[in-house]
Structures are given as structure tokens and as C-alpha cells.
Structure 1
Amino acid sequence: MALLVPPASLTVLAPAYIGPGAGFALGGSFLFALAGIGLAAVALLAWPVRVVVRMIRARRRPGRAKARRVVTLGLDGLDPILARKWMDAGQMPNLARLKAEGGFRPLGTTWPAMSPVGWSTFATGVDPSGHNIFDFLNRDMVTHLPILSSTRLKTHSTRRHLGPVPLPGGDHPFELLRRSKPFWTTCGEQGVASSVLRIPITFPPDRFAGRQLSAMCVPDLRGTQGTFTHFSAPGEDPAGRTTGGDRRTLEAAGPDTWRGELPGPDRSHGSGVQTVAVTVKVDASARRAEFELDGNRFTLGEHEYSEWIPLCFCEGRRRAYGICKVRVTRFEAPFAFYVSPVNIDPLHPAFPISQPAHFSLALARLHGRFATLGLAEDTWALNERVIDEQAFLDQAWANHAERERQLFHALDHQPDGVISVVFDATDRIQHMFFRYLEPDHPANAGKDTERHKDAIAQLYTRADDLVGRVLAKLGPRDVLLVVSDHGFKSFRRGVNLNAWFRRNGYLYLKSDPVFGPLPQIPVGTRYEATDVDWTRTRAYTNGLAGFYLNIAGRERNGCVPPEEALALKREIIDQLRGLPDPAGGGEAVTELWAGEDIYPGPYRENGPDVIVGYKPGYRTDWDAAVGAVTDLIVSDNTRSWSGDHCMDPRQVPGVLFSNRSFAATRPDLRDIAPSVLDLLGLPVPRHMTGRSIFAPEPEQAP
């Protein structure tokens, strides 16, 4: 699932890249090479011991394994209705084969239906109140500002130093906020091999006896969830911040030659950002541009990306290593080009992005550098029309190809245990191209509606082809589970609950009078969370899941007495259920759920007080997602991001396919983790609330 709010609002402190945890980069290639030689020697010497330990642990398994190897193939966002449509049309023969030979069911998603929540449930076998991930965002109890829900920067580090060089080991500078135990940790404890590739909410990586490459919430080298840079010669493109990126004006450096500075991480003492130089000589008639970026020379034509370009941001003796890709967006005047977010270099990570720490290095040595950013497909660059649809597709499929190489290497070299991977293209492309399925979608205004009208159909066909190639790698005792965390619907209209709260007396701005009617917010005006009067505000929203009450003793400026919270919650639920859309002619909200009614786990208090189930076609709008207040309660969504799933979870189930028949008639995401353990003959931990899909279903009481 892609990021649904401006990445700049989710900034993780960039000094992490050149402060605590940057020692791997500072040590450079020599330190990694030395560590690699040492680890290889240790691995060779320890191999007989590992074999014996695995044999002993295997004998201790309480059940006999039903499979030699379990492969979970995650296709984020694959929708059961669309999958069935194209299976019936003969365009997805491999999934149709799985349906016939094993089984296919819609897969119940989480409350709310979004990727960080769903994949955390997939991993742990518990609902959000058991693993503590309820949304992309949470709220800061002191400032009420949105913060990342899954990862935070630690305030201290126990990393050891050799002189100025931080050594491997010690605490990771970031903390993973997902709780509970994922199934791969249980596998490691039982001596079962596991390769976990790009499962969301695995940053920082889990410490367990297996291999893992982190995914969602791995930041870029600037400490954000993805900030692109767009350079242009002086002309029509204004310089400055834009949602999701920077726009920078190039300086003339000679005939048809331009120069700029690509920003990287902040300087360690807060004196601006580090940069590297980029120079480009343009031959507009030949549609060619010769670049030099941080000493790397390459030439680009029309409609092509560079390879991954290695970068080094230097500050004294400190080094921060990154990689980026470049694409020319305009040859005619004013010349312009796009630079992707600067990813952490997997060959020189500033801190571990894999388990063990050298795993990312090994993958890069085997297959070449690859995208490490948690949300690697640049949806905001397309939303802001910095790149076009073809550029986005090229980027998404290039990332997809990198992950395919990693998956098939694991399939070729790991004969048993579990291999678990998630592919993101199925989610990102549906988000950005769903408007092509609806000629009257508000996002189509002023945009192409023909060239890529088959992009989603082609996406499903390519996903099916991947399934076929994975099946060809499996043996008779291997089990394949194809899983998606949610489905997809159109996102035509956005709802700003903060606007509704203000209009109905639950939220106040600092500028609002204490007595009398509230002034109308001017059209197009946006007030941030910092403009809200929290001493009078009783309800508010940020993120995409639901809303919160401003409870005294919980939030710093809470004004709702705890004993009144339940009644207030029920009052708002009753008013919001069936919220009408004056322009759309229907209802925007179908149902709402109080947290205590759906969350039984220990982390319930960390989630929204109420989950909002939007009618398909509706979702939290872009402003309310970051806690802002505007004049309109419901408005058109005109961005390229035109499909979504953050709505009534009952309307957006995922998919479950298997090459082995299963008993469950109504499986949900909680069932996948216990199913994997059951297949491998491992004990299912008592904390898991799901049950194996292969176990007979309990008889229903009469």
C-alpha cells in the first residue's frame, strides 16, 4: 500500500543518517568487505553445527510437517472481483488453475483496510489491537500532529565506537512499533529456514534466525518517506517545496549546459542540507542529455531512466551513501529532469535495512543495487504531474523486476522452510490508474484517458504470469499461498471530518470566537493542526482510519472528561452514520465502529476511538489525512491517485489462492500466520487469534 499523505509531513529526523547508526557508511567498503569475509568464515565453520541444531529442533516439532516448503506470494491490493472477472475472461490462467486445483476465496481484511495494518496481521496472526498498527499515521498526544505509526527514531543509541568509527552491533537508531511475534520468528526458534522479502512494517528489521529485507517505512537518505527533486532551467516551473518533493531551478554553466545541487541529508549541526553537484549538457535537437552527477557520467534520451546512480554525501570524515535514478521530463525549453528520492544504498547502508545486516549487501552483490525506500514507487511525483503515467509505470515495473530477481534466487537456493514476499506494483498501479476504469472519474479532467486504459488489466495479467513462474519452481511437497491484504475501489470523493466536526461544534480553530456563530472558512483556505484550539476541541481526525476524542488525561490538552467519552462517541457515531453527500446524491459513510466493540487486544487504546467505514467511492480527503481543516466536508478527488481501499472493510476483501485445497470458507488475514506454521508442523503460539485454513472448521452451534 502506498503512502496516502504528503511524505514531507512524515519526516523522520535526517541526522540519523550521519549521526548514530551511520558507522557502516563511515567505515565504507573496507569495513563491509572485512565484515563480509569474517561472516563468511564464521558461517563456513558454523555450518555443521547449524545442521545438527536444525535436525534436533526438527525432531522436537510436535506435529509432522505437511509441506516441505511454504511460499507466500503477496500481491498487495489484488482485488477478488477484478481477479474473478479476468479469470473468467481467460486472461489469468495460472490463478484459475490454483482456483481449480486448490482453492480461491475472498480474504477478510483488517479494520481498517490498509497495508500497514493488514500485513502486520498477516505476519502476527492477530488484529490491530494485538500488534499496535492501526494506520499509516498516529497522533502525537502532546502536539496532536500526525506521526508515523510504525517506526520512531530513538532518542539515544548504545552503538559502540572504535575512535570516530561506529561499530556494528548495539541498538538500531530506529524502533519498530509493531508488537506481537511474527510467524518467521517462530520458524527461527524452531530451526526452520525463512526468507522474508519486503513484507511491509519490517523496519527496522526483526531480529530472528532467518533472512529479511525491510520494506514499508524504510526512509530515504533525507529522512523522509520519499522526497523527489525536479530540476528545470529558468522558465515556467517555480522553485520551492511541492507536495512530496522539491522543485529547483538550474543555473547556466555554459552553452546548453546547466548546473544544480541535489539535496541530501541535513548537516549534523542544523546548518542546512548536504548536496552533491549535478551538471547536464543538453542537445535538444538530438533529444540527448549528458549528465555528471557526483562524479558519475551517463547519457539519457527521451523516456528512459538512468541506472541506479551511487552518491556520497560528505561532511568532514562522515559519509552518507545513497542511490537515485534520473529521467529527463522535458527537452524543449525550459529543459527539466526528475531525480527520484535518494534511497539508502544497499551496499553501504547507514544502518541495517536487513536481517542479518549484511543480507542487503549480499543481495546487491548478487543482483545489483535495488530500491530500498519503503514506498519506492513515486506516487506523489505523478500526483504533482512532475512525471507522467509512462514514467510511473516504468519505475514501478523496474522495482518489480528487482524483487522478482530476489524471489527467484530464494526459490532456487532455499529448498525448505518458508519464503515470504510482497510485490507492491499491484497496489501502486491500481492507486494511480483506477480512473481509467471510469470515464467520468473526477480525476480524469485534463488528463489522458486512452493511452493507459488497459494498465490495470495488464497489471493483473502480469501478476498471473508471475504466479505461473513461481508454480514452475515448486515441488510436489511445496505449498503456495497467494495473498492480498485488501481489494480496491474507486476513490472519487474525499471527506474532511475535521470540517464536519467544526461545523457541528466538536472542533474549534484558535481564531474562532468563544460565543456566537463561527465564521465560514474561505474557499480554498486550509488550517493546520497547529491552528486548532485544542482546549475546546472534543473530536478530531488525522490518518485514514477514523477519528479520536480529545480526552482529558490522555491528550495533553484534552477537554473531554473520561466519564463522558463513551456517550460522546455514541453521539457522533449516530450523527455520522449515513453522512449525506450533497453533490454526490448518496451517503458517504455506511458504518462506524467504536474501538471497544471491535478491538479486544492490549493495544486498543493506541488506535482510533472510532473506525469510519466509508462507502466505496469515498475516503478521507487529502487535507484531513494530515489533520487539516478546510471549508468543504465532501469534495472531488482530482489527483491521479484515483483508486483506494481505506473505506468500509467489508467492501474491500483481499484474495487467497492456494495450490492445496483448504477447509476455511471465510478466511481472513489472521489465518495466514497459523496456516504457515501448521503446514510446517510447528506449534501455533497461543497469542495468535487466527486459525489454520487447512484445519477442519468447527461445527456451528444450532
Structure 2
Amino acid sequence: MSTAPRFLRVLLVLASLALLPPGASGQEAPPRPRRVVVLGIDGADAEVFTRLRAEGKLPHFDALAKRGAFTPLATTNPAQSPVAWAAFATGSNPGKSGIYDFLRRDPDRPGKIEVSLASPTSVPFGPEDWLRNLLPFLLGAAGGLLVSGVALFLLRLLGMEERNRRRAALAAGFAAAALLGVLSHRVVGWIPATVPKAISNRRGTSLWVALGEAGVPTLAVEAPVSFPADRAANLRLLSGLGTPDVQATWGLWTFFTDDPRENARAETGGTVEFLAFDGEGTARTRVYGPRNFTLGDGEREEIRKQARFAKGVFDLKVGVPSAKRFEQMVAHHAGKADQASCLLEIRRDPAGKRATVRVGAGGPRP
């Protein structure tokens, strides 16, 4: 029997297989696992949200709600952000989560009020006390022996008499040991015995930790009341509400406004930045970073003087509402001048409806 027809049939089968799409087989590929996305908006009111959706002002959220689910969510008592988010994360009431306000009292220090989200503590760092005391002696002795041996060898090469050679090497060794011991004592003294550490006051297991430990890959972005960051298998997390910022605060907010009736300092700890727009529709302010600890008192005061003068000239040029408000603005800018990390420039259109923001390098300028 000829093998040609059989050979042709094999070629046809191989050709047809080559035309199949990648991954095609006799069995259907298993469906890809579906993902669940939970969007939580701090302070959002379900009734207002529903009204804005009905008015067509939230088209993207409306599309998400139609594809997924949208339902009112009861809040906690008190209805405060950290309290509600802790209950959301752990599925427990404030009495069990341990977060029942923004603030809490410290029972060990009467009259002391602290932020309830996390508490500062410290952990041991560096060598123990007995080693701290012994280490300078050991380093000094080792250095003295080394210097003495090197001196003895060099003086022998120079042909010095043995008796004088030993005395000179011994003196050099003692001097080196004393000097190295003193320096080592100073260096060891610079090593802190403890380092600060934050501990979360939230009790209970969070939703994202439970999911991760159950084998569900979980990503939590801006996770509230989760600092220090929760850790678990299959979990990637970025802490949100309650995370300290670069200014060593609990993430204080900044409100930019051109309304002269706003106060320069808010009661809740945030900052109100007054924007004085010039004739071209441009206002300048600053973005603040951490304090520059390398500056001396004189340098810091000079920066503040320059900032006070520059801010005063700029605001007088564009106009400010009142002398009191002017003094508040200048004092605020000058007081934090050494923390100004970059310039923030805001430009608005003639109608005042849109604004563009540009961040650029800058020092203590207004």
C-alpha cells in the first residue's frame, strides 16, 4: 500500500492544527479568575452620591456601579474616619477594634492626649550596656598593641638601641591606646541605645490580611489605619490614613483658596494657603518638606527674613484683604521657610474655572 495518501493526510492534520488559535485544544481553557475591586471614599454620603449619579455628574462611577454593585454602608458611632475605617477593615465595632476617636488618652501619663491610630515606642539598638563600656577598652588595647608592634619594627630597622627601642614603642602604644580608647568611647556614645518604632493601636485581623493568608492575592492601596503596614503572604499594601508624613505629622492637609475670609490656621490642624493671583492669573506658594537640621540658628533666621520680605512684597503687589490677614500669611510663610522644598505655581484661566499647577525647584521664595 502506498504511503503517499497517508503522508498527505498527516500533512493536512498538521496544517489544520497550525491554523488553530494559540491555546486551543480539545478542552476549553479554565476561565481566568475574576478580580474584585473595592473602592472606598472617605466621607462620601450615599444620598449625595446617588443624586450626583442621577444628574450625570459622575459618569465613570455610574458605569462602575452598573457593572458591579453600589449600596449604602452604615457608619460607626462616632462617625469619624479612623473609627469607621477600622470597623470596615476588621469587621468589628469600635470597642473591639480599639479605635474609637481620632485621639485617645494615655492612662500611664495623666493629661496626655495622643493620636489614637498608632503609638510611639522604642526598641533596643546597638550593643548592650556592658559591651558599650567594654568596647572602647578593647579597641584601645588592640590599637595600642598594633602601634607598639609597628613602632618596634620600624625602630629596629633604624638601628635604635634595644632598650630605648622598647621604651619608645611602649610609649607609642600607650599613647595610641589612650587616644583610640577616647575616640571609641565618643563614637560608641553616638550610637543610640534605642530607636523609635510605631505600633498600631488597631486590634483585630484586617480584611486584606485575612484574604492574603487565605491564598488570595491582594493589593491594598492607601489602606487606612494600617500603619505600620500589615504584613501577610500574598499581600501588597500601601498604608494610608494614619501614616506619618515627611514633616513628622499625621498627614496634615493643605487647603488652597483665594477667599480672604478663610483663616490662616484651621482648628483641625491643617493649613490654609491663601493664593494671591496677579494680573496674569498666576499665584505662587510652596510645598513643604522636612526640616533641614543642618542649618544653624543664624542661617535659619536669615532664610525666614528673606521669605518674610519676599512674601510681603508679592502680596502687597497683588493685593491682600486686610492687615491682619497679611500678617498671618507672612508669619506662616516665614515660620516654615527652611522647610520649603519646591515652588508651587498655580495659573487659572480668565473665567477662574480651571487652574493648572506646576511644581518647580525653588527655595524660600513665596
TM-score by length of 1: 0.26
Query: Greater helix percent: which structure?
Result: 2
Query: Greater strand percent: which structure?
Result: 1
TM-score by length of 2: 0.45
Larger radius of gyration: 2
